[in-house]
Amino acid sequence: MSDDNNASNTTGNATSAMWGGRFKAGPSAVMEEINASIGFDKRLYAQDIRGSRAHASMLVRQGILTEDDGKAILEGLDRVETEIRSGRFEFSRALEDIHMNVESRLRDLIGDAAGRLHTARSRNDQVATDLKLWVRDALDGLDGSLRDFQAVLIARAEEHAATVMPGFTHLQAAQPVTLGHHMLAYVEMIGRDRSRIRDCRRRMNECPLGAAALAGTSFPIDRDFTATQLGFDRPTQNSLDSVSDRDFALEYLGLLSILSVHLSRMAEEMVIWASQQFAFIRVSDDFSSGSSIMPQKRNPDASELVRGKAGRVFGSLMGLLTVMKGLPLTYGKDMQEDKEPVFDASDTMELCVAAMTGMFRSATFGVARMKADAGKGFTTATDLADWLVRVLNLPFRDAHHVTGALVKMAEDKGCGLEDLSLDEMRSVNAAITDAVFAVLGVDNSVASRTSLGGTAPDNVKAQCAHARERFLS
């Protein structure tokens, strides 16, 4: 996908003919194989044709093309697009890429007028525009999918606003929280991912078309017109930069990588929670599989695959970073390697988001098991320490010491803090009263966490309503 000229010489299906008089012999089979990109860049056909329509309309508007040629080109492009959509279009590897395949077929349909379409542009600015349009469409689609995912998470959070579960640090039981609160943590993560989508879209929304090969063009084009026609905010400001950078694709892969981290962490929790040792969640049959040798097994395979595919997305980002890191201005054929990682990561993420949405929508939760485990590991110890500070006015470090002694006592007795008698508690600190029992127990613990962003059930219900306003309206 490179072009050092502003006019097309396509006259047939052989590369030697495509390049006109510059080369006498056709390419070797190896060169044709390494050079062709049509096997993957045909996915850009809709964006390529859309860009050509805008370019042709601008050329007519500026008097560079006649009305008749412009009309023939637009009608011909409609026919080419119909053929591709219907599966009747025959792609040629000899024509290298989607641009030359479209233009060659256009020439078959309308004759010499097709050759005038490439006036005042290059494949360099053409492909930069096509890929920007494709990534922009992908961003819009991803944002919609993530919105749907958030809607599912918010609905499940509201359903489980009062479902108590253990909250973890270091994967050790720390303090009781609610499952709804846990779900809303995911909602916030996805909300930031969506904000990165908006940021990326806004930054990339400048049109490269008209930069030509690298230096602009001597034709009196109207770049503002083509930018507007294609839904861009403005044209790019430097022709060298326009054709030589792919930071928009890198940023897209970067945000997909961060999203992959979030999805992978969620998937990891599903894998852990689905184990018999936890039994916090049951992944539906639609997203589970069995074992070829162990008939009792029920594996949360979709979760594991989402977790694993994060590495694939990271690889796409690292691959393109490596391609771009050493390129001098402007275009190098190395940049043909920009599309496959973008397409692969995009497809992977679309599948992962759909899988996670489906799994959370259909999952059932082990509510009783969660509540029982929420009290294990003395998870209300912080509530006890806070009570000693709040009611007895102990310095927190002293309260921490008293609580530690009571935890040791309960541990030795094999019971929970709430099961210690008042006398036993007073043996550590005589000022303790029976009011302390009001803060012990997991239900009391979560109900007391009423600070902004806290896990109290009433908070969670309010946070669900707020999340709907922020993310779904």
Residues catalogued as catalytic: 170, 291
HSE (side-chain half, CA atoms, 13 Å) at 424: 17
Locate 133 and state its tokens.
């349009």
SS (H, E, C) the chain: CCCCCCCCCCCCCCHHHHCHHHCCCCCCHHHHHHHCCHHHHHHHHHHHHHHHHHHHHHHHHCCCCCHHHHHHHHHHHHHHHHHHHHCCCCCCHHHCCHHHHHHHHHHHHHHHHHHHHHCCCCHHHHHHHHHHHHHHHHHHHHHHHHHHHHHHHHHHHHHCCCCEEEEEECCEEEEEEEHHHHHHHHHHHHHHHHHHHHHHHHHHCEECCCCCCCCCCCCCCCHHHHHHHCCCCEECCCHHHHHHCCHHHHHHHHHHHHHHHHHHHHHHHHHHHHCCCCCCEECCHHHCECCCCCCCCCECHHHHHHHHHHHHHHHHHHHHHHHHCCCCCCCCHHHHHHHHHHHHHHHHHHHHHHHHHHHHHHCEECHHHHHHHHCCCCCCHHHHHHHHHHHHCCCHHHHHHHHHHHHHHHHHHCCCHHHCCHHHHHCCCCCCCHHHHHCCCHHHHHHHCCCCCCCCHHHHHHHHHHHHHHHHC
Check if the beta carbon of residue 208 is closer than 8 Å to that of residue 129.
yes
Residue 121 vs residues 205, 208, 306: alpha-carbon distances, Å: 19, 10, 42
Long-range contacts of the stretch 106-109 (C-beta < 8 A, 24+):
106/73, 106/76, 106/77, 106/80, 107/10, 107/11, 109/76, 109/79, 109/80
**What Rg do the C-alpha atoms of the chain give, in angstroms?**
31
Question: Residue 441: which residues within 8 A CB-CB, separation 6 or more?
Answer: 375, 380, 418
